[in-house]
Amino acid sequence: FRFKDSLVEDLRRADLVISHAGAGSCLETLEEGKPLIVVINEKLMNNHQLELAKQLQRDGHVLCCNCSTLVETLKSMDLSTLKPFPPGQPEKFALFLDEVIGFQ
């Protein structure tokens, strides 16, 4: 897609998602519980996407590749090895902020 207001319905219908390694794209997909192949754009400056993609792969949540290895990844993938992404816990962050600011 070039642009779409929301991908939520597409994500819910998907059996597999292939995406760039943008934080929003990765987290939305993982929060929907969908298997994800992250394709790293190696031409980005400072390649910040690489760090996120590699960490998510180390944690077992995604498969990671680049454009030249995507077909190989699709042929050899075993989606059963992927671990579910744990749900966020915003209440912990709120408690942390309360402590830092001094609210009780």
- Going from N- to C-terminal start, the domains of the chain cover 7-101
Residue 30 has pLDDT above 70, yes or no: yes
Query: What are the structure tokens assigned to 18, written together?
Result: 């292939």
The rounded distance, in Å, linking the Cα atoms of 9 and 95 is: 33
pLDDT band at 55 (very low <50, low <70, confident <90, very high): very high
Least confident window among 2-6, 46-50, 55-59, 98-102: 46-50
How far are the Cα atoms of 28, 34, 71, 89 from residue 103, in angstroms, in the given order?
32, 38, 53, 19
What pTM was estimated for this model as a whole? 0.80
pLDDT band at 45 (very low <50, low <70, confident <90, very high): low
Query: What are the structure tokens assigned to 87, written together?
Result: 């749900």
Q: Is the dihedral of CA 50, 18, 82, 90 positive or negative?
A: positive
pLDDT band at 37 (very low <50, low <70, confident <90, very high): very high
Pick the CATH number of 7-101 from 3.40.50.2000, 3.40.50.150, 3.40.50.300, 1.10.287.70: 3.40.50.2000
User: Quick check: helix, strand or coil at residue 68?
Assistant: helix
Q: Which residue has the tokens 């690489």?
A: 50
Query: What are the structure tokens assigned to 51, written together?
Result: 């760090």
Residue 80 has pLDDT above 80, yes or no: yes
How far are the Cα atoms of 20, 28, 98 from residue 93, in angstroms, in the given order?
27, 19, 9
Mean pLDDT of the chain: 89
